Structure 1
Amino acid sequence: MTRQRDLPASLDLLRGFEAAARLLSFTAAASELFVTQSAVSRQVQQLEEQLGVKLFERRTRALVLTDAGELYAREVTKALNALREATAAVRASTTPVVRVTTTVTFASLWLVPRLAQFQARHADISVHVVADNTMRDLERNALDLAIRYSPEAAAGAGAERLFGEHVAPVASPALLKGRGVRTPEDLLRLPLLELDDPALSAPWLSWKVWCEAMKLKRPRENRGLAFSHYDQMIHAAIAGQGVALGRFPLVDPFLADGRLVLPLKGRQYATQATRAYWLIVPAPAARRAEVKVFTDWLRDQVAAQANGGKRR
């Protein structure tokens, strides 16, 4: 008979240990679990104290499982997987739920504004959105599908391309009023809103790269603001605080309702992103009726967007 005191005090201790044992790194485990490295280290230490055995050998540049650690890791992994499967089964037996992960920007500017329409047509299906700029493991995190923003090479086998992206300057009508913006040189006299991306992980969203494409020199002094998240920058542009590089089609709705306009009209003022939006649906999730309903709706939205924005 299992006694309560035979179990660890917290499931978090087991999750921290399992991730550290699988990755052989407290730092990598912390990144996966969205906690600090010291938190994972404490979890493992507490678990070792409760069990009365060492689970890891902590070497100078390596983390190595002890014999007891290897045995325990195998059993803990089985137990956690069983819990995940049981949880998914219970959820499936009640209200159907579709769990979607995507980037913060895509969720904020594209997906979430459309979800009210989906819920109106499919009130019996619940949609949970996990907005995160890291690529989560779908199975491990009990997620049904992902919409990822990546180059084709990184999208993975079986990924379905939804649409690409191009970039062009956008601003509020109020900011442009009376400014006489007719050329890229005119535009550079206005405050430029920046994405705070020192590593240039998305160079096509940089004014420096846009200026190079326009064969212009970027002004040394920028009187604009910088933001860590793209959606914040777009809302600043809507508020008239400067000119932003608009990501199309994500910002299409703001041009449609007049909150933003193109200061410079013409394809020659746009640059192409090197990433696209990809749909990833693991086979087990794809077989579920509610996931198929959601992905069919998603494809309809993409098709409608390509046909001029009329939603079906």
Structure 2
Amino acid sequence: MLLSRISLASLRTFSEVARQGSLSLAAEQLCISPSAVSHQMKLLEQQLDTALFIRRARGVELTGAGKHLAEYAIRSMLQLEQGLQRATQASQRQLSVAAIPAITQLWLVPKLHRFYALHPDIELSIIDQDALTDFNQQAVDLHLHFGSGECIGLKNELLMPEWAVPVCHTDLLAKFGSANELLEADSTRRLTYTGFDEDRPGGLNWSGWFNQAGLSLNPNQAVTHFNHLAPLFSAASYRQGIALGWQQLIQDELQAGRLVALSETRVHLKYSYYAIAPEVHFERDVVKLFLAWIRDECRN
């Protein structure tokens, strides 16, 4: 195949020389030296074993072979430029967001229809992961993180704090008549809790919440452990017990009345929600659009 033996850089330079009719003008457009242009043209003629130019005192004149090649080379470079622009534009409308599963499943996904209404042309990729993104290894634009926000070499933006409050299905509350009776019904209630993995940064368990509320927790209390928050709240919605809820994540469920808070004691978790990424990512237009929408949702 002839093309495999030809320097593509020389073809790019040749198309510019043909357009300008001058080695020096082509050098200016390509930001290289005239000698580099001359070297590439000699290389191209050697590879083709064909004379492409007649050197004149002022500029160059294309030979018959040079004119034929110029017609295709110039057209091809224009098409390639258009293709590169379209590829760049497409990538600028793609956004990859990573987050702990609870954020994506309980908070982000239920709200995404509002984002799509504002930006229907943006293509989102949502990645569930507990650990903070390694931006050197993963092609991720932004991480919605629950933690301290302190990440070496990365920029963070505080989105919202979080509180823990006990919640259950309204039918379960009706069975006991009052929240106090339900919380004190040691022999019949079941507490549900994420005892490891996803909620570890929250730093709060049922014992901690009962202490904050000034109540006593039966040491023999039946507890179901989940390693993620989404199935925890799903269990509560199926009347399977009382969940130690993260209020920001279940705000829609509380407002809709599918879950009900059992106490006014809200315990502030020591960590919060942050948007985290390398600083340069925050300058991307698609990230700016997404963050502007996230901020509005966090304020609502």
Name the TM tier (shorter chain).
Answer: 0.5 to 0.7
- Number of residue pairs the alignment of both structures matches: 215
Query: Structure 1 residue 109 and structure 2 residue 106: aligned?
Result: yes
Which position in structure 1 is the counterpart of 2:8?
none
Q: Which amino acid aligns with 1:272?
A: H
Secondary structure (helix, strand or coil) at the match of 2:259 reads: coil
TM-superposed CA distance for 1:229, in Å, is: 0.9
C-alpha separation between the residues in 2 aligned to 1:152 and 1:262? 28
2:177 paired residue among 177, 180, 185: 180
**More relative contact order in 1 or in 2 (CA 8 Å, sep 6+)?**
2
Unaligned runs of 5+ in 2: 1-84
- 1: CA distance between counterparts of 2:278 and 2:157? 12
What does the per-residue CA deviation read over 1:137-192, in whole Å, with 9 as the maximum and x for residues that have no partner?
A: 12431111111110244587531100100111000011111303343752655211
Q: Which structure: larger Rg?
A: 2
C-alpha separation in 2, matches of 1:199 and 1:148: 11
The 2-side partners of 1:156 and 1:101 are apart by 18
**1:300 equivalent in alignment to 2:296:** yes
Pick the aligned partner of 1:97 from 78, 94, 97: 94
Spell out, residue by residue over 1:251-304, the C-alpha distance to the aligned partner (whole angstroms, 9 max, x if none): 10001111100122x2xx22110000111232332332222211111112112x
Q: Distance in 2 between matches of 1:111 and 1:203?
A: 19
Q: Does 1:170 align with 2:167?
A: yes
Q: Any residues of structure 2 matched to 1:234-245 within 5 Å, and which? A: 234-245=233-244
**Kept after mapping to 1: 8 A contact 2:199/2:228:** no
Alignment partner of 2:260: what SS?
Answer: coil
Q: Is the 8 A contact 1:148 1:155 kept in 2?
A: no
What is residue 278 of structure 1 aligned with on the other side?
274
Name structure 1 gaps, 5 residues minimum: 1-88, 306-312
What is the TM-score of this pair, normalised by structure 1?
0.62
Alpha-carbon distance between aligned partners in 1 of 2:197 and 2:90, rounded to the nearest angstrom: 46
Question: Residues of 1 paired with 2:136 and 2:226: CA distance?
Answer: 32
Identity rate, percent: 26
Amino acid across the alignment from 2:162? E
Distance 1:285 1:152, change over 3 A: closer
Equivalent residues in 2 for 1:139-178, closer than 5 Å: 139-154=136-151, 158-178=155-175
- Could you tell me the TM-score, scaled by structure 2's length? 0.64
In structure 2, the residue matched to 1:5 is: none
User: Residues 291 and 92 of structure 1: is their aligned pair in 2 closer, same or farther, counting only changes over 3 Å?
Assistant: farther
Q: Measure the CA separation in 1 of the matches of 2:161 and 2:198.
A: 22
1:203 offset after TM fit, Å? Answer: 5.9
* Correspondent of 1:135 among 127, 132, 135: 132
What secondary structure, in the 3-state scheme, does the structure 2 residue paired with 1:183 have? helix
Determine the C-alpha separation between the residues in 1 that align with 2:145 and 2:202.
18
